[in-house]
Amino acid sequence: MKARRILLVLSVCVLVALSAIMGERTSPAAAVVPGANGKIAYARFTFIGDDADVWVMDADGTDPVPLTDDAFFHDSGAAWSPDGTRIAFSSDRDGNNEIYVMNADGTGVTRLTYESRDDVGSSWSPDGSKIAFQSDREFWWEIYVMNKDGTGQTRISNDPGFSPETNPGWSPNGTKIAFGSYRDGNAEIYVMDPDGTDATRLTTDPAGDYGSTWSPDGSKILFTSYRDHFNGEIYVMKADGSGQTRLTNNTVSDSGPIFSPDGSKILFTRYQINDTNLYTMNLDGTGQTALTTTAGVAELASDWQRLPGVGGIAEVPDAARSPAAGGASSGPDAGVLAGVIAGAAGVVALGGAAWAVRQRVAGR
Task: For 69-85, write each residue's pLDDT tens digit.
Answer: 988 899 999 999 999 99
Task: For 233-251, write each residue's pLDDT tens digit.
Answer: 999 999 999 999 999 999 8
Other beta carbons less than 10 A from residue 250's beta carbon: 15
Task: For 286-300, write each residue's pLDDT tens digit.
Answer: 999 999 998 888 999
Task: For 180-238, write each residue's pLDDT tens digit.
Answer: 998 888 899 999 999 999 999 999 998 889 989 999 999 999 999 999 878 899 999 99
Q: What is the 3-state secondary structure (H, E, C) of 76-89?
A: EEEEECCCCCEEEE
What value does the mean pLDDT take over residues 96-100? 95
Q: What is the pLDDT of residue 225?
A: 95
Task: For 299-310, write each residue's pLDDT tens digit.
Answer: 998 899 998 655
Split at pLDDT 50, 70, 90, the class of 65 is very high
For the chain, what's the residue count?
364
**Rounded Cα–Cα distance for residues 185 and 246 (Å):** 23
Say how many Å lie between the first and final Cα of the chain, rounded. 24
pLDDT at 2 over 60: no
Longest dimension (CA), the chain: 58
Domains, in order of start, for the chain: 2-359 (2.120.10.30)
